[in-house]
Amino acid sequence: MSPSHKLDPAKADTDATEVDTSLIDTFGGVRGMVDMTVPGFVFVLLYTITKNLGVSAWSAVGVTVLLAVVRLVRRETLKHAFGGVLGVAIGAFIAMKSGKAQDFYLPSMIYGVLLGVLYAVSALVRWPLLGVLLGPMLGENMTWRTQNPGRLAAYTKATWVWVALFAIRAAILFPLYWAGNVTWLGVAKIGLGVPPWLVAIYLSWLILSKAPPPIKVAVEEEKEPAPDHAEV
């Protein structure tokens, strides 16, 4: 029978902070969300004013590239910036080809639906994607799935929070897309960016902060007997 352990409030606070930071980093951080929001804002602003699809689309691409260059100069990760450049460029290309301004937003909308489906499937098969992403970042790897049922349940519940977020976005954006209302589609896309993202981050943090602490792989490795190096 394993010995009982009292909950250390300081350690609990540390774990909660780690979860909070890891959640933000996993979804691109505040900087990543800003980088994804600004190009869409530039597009909808210019299109509303000029009604010129080419100027609006390629201006958005230019802003995205500029943001990526700034990251490169500051030696920050380009992982999320690259995805932003690619997504905006594809959206601009599709919109230019179709001649429909609303198609600028179509790739990111489809991507959001696919992510929502992926999160839902992962939760249903008991491999919640949030746990897969956060486990290595928190030093627990996949111990949450085999040795920590409380965290498995928490990761599953938090993953459904993100499924709900993607579903709400799709339910609002696609009717506006089908109606061809470019201005309101752009406004909705911006409004459904950072604010709901922060809500989902908070709810996920709230769920995980009440879960059992992670079983960290490094802690288990430290339990192995160390070689005897006593001086003679």
Residue with tokens 């909660």: 16
CA atoms within 13 A on the CB side of 48: 13
Q: Are 114 and 144 in contact (CB under 8 A)?
A: no
Compute the distance between CA of residue 69 and CA of residue 73 in angstroms, rounded to an integer.
6
- The sign of the CA dihedral 11, 16, 17, 18 is positive
Answering whether pTM is above 0.85, one says no
Confidence of residue 3 (pLDDT cuts 50, 70, 90): very low
Question: Model confidence over 112-151: pLDDT tens digits?
Answer: 999 999 999 999 999 999 999 888 888 888 999 989 999 9
Torsion angle (degrees, nearest 10) of CA 121, 168, 77, 38: 160
- Token output for 77: 């990760």
- The per-residue pLDDT for 81 is 62
Nearest CA among 111, 106, 81 for reference residue 94: 106
- Weakest-pLDDT range from 55-59, 100-104, 228-232: 228-232
